[in-house]
Amino acid sequence: MRFNAKDLASLARRPSGCFDKEGKLKICRVVGDEKLIEPRERWCRLKGNLLFLMKNKSSEASEVVILERCWIVEFRSKTDVSIVLKFQSGEADLYLEAASKPDCESWAVALGEANSEGLQNKIQQLRRLIMEIKEERSSDEARQFLPSSQVDSLGEPQFTSIQRIANEPKLEFSLACKDLVAATRDRKLNTFIQVSVVHPAEHILTRYTSTEIVEGTRDPLFLTGVTFPPEYPIYEETKIKLTVYDVKDKPQDTVRTSVLPDHKEPRADVGRSFLGCTTFRVGDLIKSKEQQLTLTLRTSDGGKTVGTIEVNLVKMGELEDGETDHITTDAQDQKCALVRECTATEGVSGKDNLPSLNAVLKNPICKLYRFPTSDNKWMRIREQMAETTLSFHVPKELINLHIKEDMRRNQELKDLGELAPHWDNMRKSVIAHCDQMLSMYQDTLAELGKHTGSSFKSSCSKGEKTLEFIPINLHLQRMHVHSPRLKDALYDVITVGAPAAHFQGFKNGGLRKLLSKFEAERRNTGYQCIYYSPENTAKAKEVLSNINHLQPLISSHADLLLNSASQHSPDSLKNSLKMLSEKTELFVHAFKDQLVRSALLALYTARPGCVLKKPAVPRNSAEEGDDLQHQDHPSQIKRQDSIPHHSEYDEEEWDRVWANVGKSLNCVIAMVDRLLEKDNISNVKEGENDPSAADCKVLHTGGDWYEQLYPLVITLKDCMGEVVTRAKQSMAFVLLQELACGLPQCLMLTLRRDIVFSQALAGLVCGFIIKLHTGLHDQGFLQQLHTVGLLVQYEGLLSTYSEEAGMLEDMAVGISDLQKVMFKVIEAKSEDFLPVITGRREHYVIEVQLPAKMFELLPQEIKEGKLLRMYPVLFNVGINEQQTLAERFGDTTLQENINQENLELLKEYYKLFTEKMPPDCLPHFQEQNDLKGLLENLHQNIQAKKRKNVEIMWLAATICRKLNGVRFTCCKSAKDRTSMSVTLEQCSILRDEHQLHKDFFIRALDCMRREGCRIENVLKNVKCRKYAFNMIQLMAFPKYYRPPEGTYGKADT
């Protein structure tokens, strides 16, 4: 329209910053498809719903267009840069042509929002934004429940509780939309539903969860359901709000990927638009006749209808009937199968939720899927992930044992007695360094004791000093499969970051290289100290351990023997003597090693002003054999060349002391035999003459037994004490040499090894306990456990380049050290079911506690305390871009050697298994895919030295499952590469063992990676739902290890 009003002219002349948009456009009027004149360039200014047209930026406005009761037609061709404004009044259309496509799109958006209807939409959007900000500030957030005190106060009688089975979710429902209305007619919708909860007592809107995004349809079937776990305070009066959004750019949508603070669900407004919302009461859904609600979706002002939404109540215990054809047709373009969230940890039998298992597993996350089988039936898969309290419990137990062991060693060094100045200075230096290390262990234990909160160490914390003993991101990953025609199956994998000393770093490599280098340097220490081999130092530690274990036992049995004598109890006397004899023989046998003799000689030469004495009579092994009935004379082993020889040293002194223990025991045995023999003769004679006299004899001779045995027992204890003193000093002197030869590297290596072993052991204990619980009803497995031992297979995904090569070296040593760990199953005597660790470095026993009912299911051998052996093996294949560099420009020898060494260990275990176990104990055994063939195939793949040969890992995992083993998957932080591997393994099992439809393999894989437990693991670690990959990295990954579009990007790891 034409104008002449001064106020409009004044508005058009205002400064540029006062306008919503301004710029050059070519403009003309159009009637039908005919342009009345050629488009002319005009300077256009938009303010509110007024569009000013000017010849140039500084001229007066020649025309103003009121943007009401009009709409915009935007041309869709990539080259077209024009739009048309059409008016309901019938006046000529306004043709506008921009300089570029982006400029054209910008003007189309600005003009489209300029009328009063667009202003109203902005107001509504601001209202929604205010409501969402209030949601974020509320105390309840998705997966975070109200405190127990609040729950109690809310659970008042006026609210109706939902009746459900114990440990089952309180409420579950699925969602679908129909006839959704798009903003423009030709727009394809990409929609998701956000679910919020309004508690009846507080009337605060709390965001709870959201569905997956369904692309390209106005009738989306949402395959992600909604689950409220047993602990959640939800009642029939609770209201649930469902809000439907349209996502404009799915890969960049931040609803599921933006970085967020602790325990916060991500939110976003960029890249999505509001479609409609609706609300319903929980009670209405539960009481509905068909347990289904059909609700109308309306705009925020409640006026316009934009479609309908169906809410279907789901009962997880019921199986679905019918074929899958209608799903595969309707959901052809959808990216995911049915996924529901829950938090109850369940097993195949539904009875795994036991106190002993609950003491180990915490904060479970559960997802449920349904996928079609090859015969078009549904199979249901429950995927679970739980952290474990053992992440902190096991390291704290270990550190406590380290402290006790080191304090005992330091005291033994101090008890060495007087030494020559050279050795004394060496001892002082060693003790000073050991005290510093001991203080560090004590500080670490104190810091761990202060830890509260989650039961796992996130990947972001792997470099923290106070947490260096804690395993990284340790979780149980479980898949429970229910197929229509197959038996339910359970598949467990323990996921954990590679055991490695991240705080200490990898500048000089890892343990494998450092230990080898240290041992080579220690051989060349010269005259300063005596070199003992690692085998001899290990033997010295074993002797000291045996002394500390057996000496109190022998003393206790000796006291019991005297007590039996005082009571004149023949049977008790015999039993006490038997136990005393057995323990004393073990005690004497512990010093049978030549190492004790040579160490005593070395210690003697280290004394100040030592005098050597030549023996007057040569040794006679036959004479000593007569003295010791319960021991063999030590074989004459050649001394190490580095140990000084002194022909005048009186070795007989040690032999006499050592032999006196056996002689003293023989005297005790002889006296007991004599007393029992006399007692039998006396009882027979007295019984024949006068029975009452026999009773008097018992009272009279009781004191005689005690008096006759007492001096012999005291002599035995004295002889044993003399042996203990000398042996302890000699073995402590060996340990002094070990420490002195490598200060301070020796102690730093011990620390590093302790750190790595602590991380590895926490995972192993978790894996053993889970395997024991799932195999309690499998007699074949239990027989294998105590007859052969347990196979523990680690899958490594580390590269052999840069720092990860050092991590792999640490990991290889840590896993190898697990061979020295033994397990013992005991009956729990209290409600504390956490495992107990005993022993010392290089020899630990893990006592796993079971409730009485579960303990009774075990074989007699295990119930009697038989120690159970572990057989850990590690196979590593690097898959990332760093491995590509290692393969082309670096060295992969480390990986090849590790795989070859562990293949031999695996073959040894298989040989033991076939020798000791009957053939029918092999689970899932198939002739065409037998273990021999799998092992041979694995051998060929390792020998082939093929780049990124992931088939090595697939074969090793299959062999492990067939041998009832425990599976581990590890990468640097058990977050990204581990997630790719675990989900691939799960889908491969579904395809190979449970007939997953071949067309759904990739969709199932993408679904588990996009919506499953592993993306939740990423969120727990880095507060972001994105795998830490970029496009360049993924180009180097094997095909099936790449995540779906939109789930990866820049994130801290």
Evaluate whether 975 touches 1017 at the Cβ level (below 8 Å). yes
Q: Is 219 exposed, middle or buried (0-12, 13-18, 19+ CB in 10 A)?
A: middle
Which residue, among 1015, 1025, 1004, has the nearest Cα to 338 in the 3D structure?
Answer: 1004
Evaluate whether 808 touches 800 at the Cβ level (below 8 Å). yes
Structure-derived torsion over alpha carbons of residues 965, 472, 502, 762, reported in degrees to the nearest 10: -50
Evaluate whether 499 touches 471 at the Cβ level (below 8 Å). yes
Rounded Cα distance between 19 and 46, Å, is: 6
Rounded Cα distance between 714 and 472, Å, is: 54
Helix 594-606 / helix 652-689 crossing angle, nearest 10 deg: 130
CA 1009: distance to chain centroid?
Answer: 17
Evaluate whether 1011 touches 224 at the Cβ level (below 8 Å). yes
SS3 state of residue 897: helix
Strand partners, 239: 198, 281
Rounded Cα distance between 1015 and 1034, Å, is: 17
Helix 652-689 / helix 534-566 crossing angle, nearest 10 deg: 20
Q: Which two three-digit tokens encode residue 1017?
A: 């693991």
Number of other residues whose CB lies within 10 A of the CB of residue 1049: 17
Question: CA geometry: angle at 223 spanning 221 and 225, to 5°?
Answer: 115
Residue 261: DSSP 8-state: -
Contacts of 974 (CB under 8 A, 6+ apart): 459, 472, 473, 474, 475, 495, 496, 497, 1017
Q: Is 713 exposed, middle or buried (0-12, 13-18, 19+ CB in 10 A)?
A: buried
Evaluate whether 247 touches 190 at the Cβ level (below 8 Å). yes
For the annotated catalytic residues, the residue numbers are 971
Evaluate whether 197 touches 206 at the Cβ level (below 8 Å). yes
Sign of the four-CA dihedral 506, 512, 515, 516: negative
Which residue, among 401, 723, 740, has the nearest Cα to 537 in the 3D structure?
Answer: 740
Evaluate whether 1028 touches 1022 at the Cβ level (below 8 Å). yes
Contacts of 218 (CB under 8 A, 6+ apart): 177, 178, 179, 180, 181, 182, 189, 307
Which residue, among 1044, 1040, 887, has the nearest Cα to 954 in the 3D structure?
Answer: 1040
Tokens 């750019």 — which residue? 249
Evaluate whether 766 touches 788 at the Cβ level (below 8 Å). no
Which residue, among 421, 368, 110, 559, has the nearest Cα to 1012 in the 3D structure?
Answer: 368
SS3 state of residue 499: coil
